[in-house]
Amino acid sequence: MVTMATTALSSSLTAAFAPMSARRLLVFGGIALIAGGMLFGDIFAVFVLHQNGGRTGETLLAAAQAAAAQDPAGVRAAFTRIGSLLEDRGTKVDTHVHMTDAGYLALLLALVQPYVALRQQRKKRLAQLFITGGVLLPVGIFLIHYVGLAYSPFPVIGWASVLADSAGALLIIASLGEAWGFWKYLRGTRAESLEPNLAADDSWAKRALLSGGTVLVLLGFLYGAWYAAFDLYPQEKQETAILNSLAEQSAANNTALMNQSVNDYGGLAGAKAISIAAHSHAIEFGLLAMLLSFIQPYVYLNEVWKRRWVLVLLAGSIILPVFVLLELKLGLVAGGIADVGGLLVIIALIGMLVGVLRHSGRLDAGVTQ
Partner 1 sequence: MSRSSKLLVFGGLALAAIGMCYGLSYALFTEHQTLDGMGGALSAAFVQAAQRNLPQAHAAIDRYGRTKYDYVRQVDLHSHWIGLAMLMIVLGVVFDKVNFEEATRRWLSLALLAGSVLFPFGVILQTASLDAWFPSALAVVGSATVTIALAAVAWGFARAL
Judged by CB under 8 A, the chain residues 189 through 218 that form the site for partner 1 are 207, 210-211, 214-215, 217-218
Of 171, 278, 338, 348, the one binding partner 1 by CB under 8 A: 171
331: left (phi over 0), alpha (psi -120 to 50) or beta: left
Taking the least distance from each CB to partner 1, the nearer of 55 and 207 is: 207
Q: Check: CB of residue 105 under 8 Å from CB of residue 178.
A: no
Residues with Cβ within 8 Å of residue 32, at least 6 apart in sequence:
103, 353
What is the dihedral angle through the alpha carbons of 170, 176, 179, 185, rounded to the nearest 10 degrees?
-100
Binding of partner 1 by 106 (CB under 8 A): no
Q: State CA 93 to chain mean position distance.
A: 9
Residues 317 to 336: which contact partner 1 by CB under 8 A? none
User: Sign (positive/negative) of CA torsion 313, 318, 319, 325?
Assistant: positive
Residue among 108, 268, 269, 350 that touches partner 1 (CB under 8 A)? 108
Single out the residue of 170, 167, 174 nearest to residue 143, CA to CA: 167
Asked if 131 interacts with partner 1 (CB under 8 A), we say no
Judged by beta carbon, residue 216 or residue 334, the one nearer partner 1 is 216
Sequence-ordered list of residues with C-beta below 8 angstroms from that of 219, at least 6 positions apart, any chain: 282, 286
Binding to partner 1 by CB under 8 A, coded x per residue (else -) over 72-91, reads x-xxx-xxx-xx--xx----
Q: Least distance (Å) from partner 1 to the CB of residue 244?
A: 5
- Going by C-alpha positions, the residue among 186, 200, 26 that lies closest to residue 116 is 186
Interface with partner 1, residue 165, by CB under 8 A: yes
Q: Binding string, 11-50, against partner 1, x = CB under 8 A?
A: ----------------------------------------
Q: How far is the CB of 293 from partner 1 (least distance, A)?
A: 8
CB of 358 to partner 1, least distance (A): 24
Q: Select 13 or 246, whichever has its Cβ closest to partner 1.
A: 246
Our CB check for partner 1 shows the closer of 4 and 172 to be 172
**Bridge partners, 9 (sequence order):** 368
User: Of 16 and 68, which CB lies nearer to partner 1 in the complex structure?
Assistant: 68
CB of 220 to partner 1, least distance (A): 10
Q: How many CA atoms lie within 13 A of 315 on its CB side?
A: 12
Consecutive H or E run containing 227: helix 204-230
What is the spatial distance between Cα 314 and Cα 214, in angstroms, rounded to a whole number? 12
DSSP 368: B
Smaller CB separation from partner 1, 181 or 335: 181
String of contacts with partner 1 for each residue 213-252, x by CB under 8 A: -xx-xx--xx-xx--x-------x--xx--xx--xx-xx-
